[in-house]
């Protein structure tokens, strides 16, 4: 009975830790910048695929190296996701500050593109894309250097865009004829990442109680990420700037803080954390193009329940949601209730919701009920500027 309870709480905490590591980057981007990033799940997916690639690279080094790929995969996932996030911020999100609903739609578009990208990326496609980028940016730079077109500049840029896209697509399609070049890198099927052997064991505490090492690793990783983020935001110079811009953008700009660089940095940080989350969830299941969409809605719920702009809110919310959904979904509640006639309806209800997907239904109902009491979440921002 006690073991069952401890086991339940441990599993709940480990679900909460996964939720939290996914929601952490989201909370930073949403809380600090007011940007809804629906592509967050796809940035996670990129992190997961990076882990897959790193693992395959380490395989070629031999068996000894295989066990330590995760130590290289974690920073690389962070880096890949952060760079993609940076590019995303510079190209799209920069144009949409102050228009949160539009940002939401645009990032959804990005997530569709990224999903299809990992399904069909191949050497032919990579070459094609590289050629497009080279021609486009080279052509534009050359145009603006060499000729002064005045009002026809826009038209010229448009022509360069169409031409370079045309050339790139033609090249990509012609390269597609070669089978070796046209073969997709990952294809639409899920790929598997094998956890290092030291993460496949369980650590047993008593005879009946044992904790899987992978879950403990994720909990530890979440704590490290939390501490790191907390340190960065509260103790470093750039963290200070980020907090200043969050509180008052105009005044920060007046005082000489480069707000655009701060935005880019914040977004890259949030995206990088998504990459780490992606690396972490490879320990739990296989990696596929839809990996991110399984987590994104739950992660948003964590942010909403926790209250925007406070990391501690996200922590508490993730743990509560994790524990409640595990206890409901695994049927632990049914086992813990004493069986007596008086509470039979309660037991029936608990049994009805005792699957993972039905537990989600009940947890969401509880969230809606909770928001009736505290509409702004557990730890709302105080002050006059909280209107969103």
Partner 1 sequence: MITTKSVGKKRRRTLEAGIVIGLILFLLFIAPLLLTDFRLGLLGRFLALAIVALGVDLIWGYTGLLSLGQGIFFALGGYAFAMHLQLNLAGDGIPEFFGLYGVSELPWFWQPFYSLPVTLIAIVVLPGIVAGLLGYLVFRNRIRGVYFSILTQAMLVVFFNFFNGQQKLINGTNGLTTDTTLLFGQQVGSDRMQFVFYVATVIVLALTYGLCRWLTRGRFGRLLIAIRDDENRLRFSGYNPAMFKVLVFAVAGGIAGAAGALYTVQSSGITPQYMSVAFSIEMVIWVAVGGRATLGGAVLGALVVNWAQALLSEQFPEVWLFFQGALFLLVVTVLPKGIVGWFRDDAVRQIRDLLGIQPQLNTYPDLELDPDVKREQRELAGK
* 9, 57, 86, 108: residue in contact with partner 1 (rule CB under 8 A): 108
Between 50 and 325, CB nearer to partner 1: 325
Tell me: does residue 95 bind partner 1 (CB under 8 A): yes
Q: Which stretch binds partner 1 (CB under 8 A): 1-9, 102-110, 309-317, 378-386?
A: 102-110
Tell me: does residue 111 bind partner 1 (CB under 8 A): yes
Tell me: does residue 152 bind partner 1 (CB under 8 A): yes
* 176, 351, 355, 381: residue in contact with partner 1 (rule CB under 8 A): 355
Between 110 and 316, CB nearer to partner 1: 110
Q: Which stretch binds partner 1 (CB under 8 A): 202-210, 222-230, 269-277, 295-303?
A: 295-303
Site for partner 1 in 118-137 (CB under 8 A): 119-120
* 271, 322, 360, 378: residue in contact with partner 1 (rule CB under 8 A): 360
* 57, 67, 75, 102: residue in contact with partner 1 (rule CB under 8 A): 102
Q: Is the dihedral of CA 88, 94, 100, 101 positive or negative?
A: negative
Q: Which stretch binds partner 1 (CB under 8 A): 67-75, 105-113, 228-236, 277-285?
A: 105-113
Tell me: does residue 150 bind partner 1 (CB under 8 A): yes
Tell me: does residue 163 bind partner 1 (CB under 8 A): no
Q: Residues in contact with partner 1, total (CB under 8 A)? A: 48
Q: Which residues in this chain contact partner 1 in the complex, by CB under 8 A?
A: 34, 36, 92, 95-96, 100-106, 108-113, 115-117, 119-120, 150-152, 154-155, 158, 293, 297, 300-301, 304, 355, 357-358, 360-361, 364-365, 367-368, 371-372, 375, 387-388
């Amino acid at each position: 009975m006690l073991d069952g309870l401890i086991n339940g709480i441990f599993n709940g905490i480990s679900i909460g830790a996964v939720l939290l590591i996914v929601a952490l980057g989201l909370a930073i981007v949403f809380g600090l910048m007011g940007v809804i990033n629906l592509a967050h799940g796809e940035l996670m997916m990129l992190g997961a695929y990076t882990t897959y690639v790193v693992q395959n690279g380490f395989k070629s080094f031999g068996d000894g190296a295989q066990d330590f790929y995760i130590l290289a995969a974690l920073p690389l996932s962070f880096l890949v996701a952060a760079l993609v996030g940076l590019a995303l911020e510079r190209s799209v999100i920069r144009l949409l500050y102050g228009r949160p609903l539009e940002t939401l739609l645009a990032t959804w578009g990005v997530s569709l593109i990224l999903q299809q990208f990992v399904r069909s990326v191949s050497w032919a496609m990579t070459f094609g894309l590289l050629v497009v980028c080279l021609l486009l940016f080279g052509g534009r730079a050359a145009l603006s250097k060499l000729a002064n077109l005045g009002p026809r500049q826009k038209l010229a840029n448009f022509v360069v865009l169409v031409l370079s896209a045309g050339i790139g697509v033609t090249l990509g399609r012609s390269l597609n004829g070669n089978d070796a070049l046209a073969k997709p890198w990952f294809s639409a099927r899920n790929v598997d990442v094998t956890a290092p052997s030291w993460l496949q064991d369980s650590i047993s505490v008593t005879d009946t109680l044992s904790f899987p090492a992978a879950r403990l690793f994720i909990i530890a990783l979440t704590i490290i990420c939390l501490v790191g983020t907390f340190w960065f935001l509260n103790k470093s110079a750039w963290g200070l700037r980020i907090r200043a811009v969050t509180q008052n953008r105009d005044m920060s700009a007046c005082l000489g803080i480069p707000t655009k660089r701060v935005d880019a940095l914040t977004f890259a940080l949030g995206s990088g954390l998504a990459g780490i989350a992606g690396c972490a969830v490879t320990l739990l299941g296989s990696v596929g193009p839809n990996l991110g969409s399984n987590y994104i809605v739950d992660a948003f719920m964590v942010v909403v329940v926790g209250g925007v702009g406070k990391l501690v809110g996200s922590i508490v919310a993730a743990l509560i949601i994790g524990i409640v959904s595990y206890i409901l979904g695994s049927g632990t509640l049914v086992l813990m209730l004493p069986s007596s006639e008086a509470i039979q309806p309660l037991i029936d209800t608990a049994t009805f919701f005792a699957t993972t997907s039905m537990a989600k239904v009940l947890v969401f109902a509880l969230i809606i009920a909770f928001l009736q009491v505290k509409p702004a979440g557990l730890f709302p921002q105080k002050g006059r500027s909280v209107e969103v």
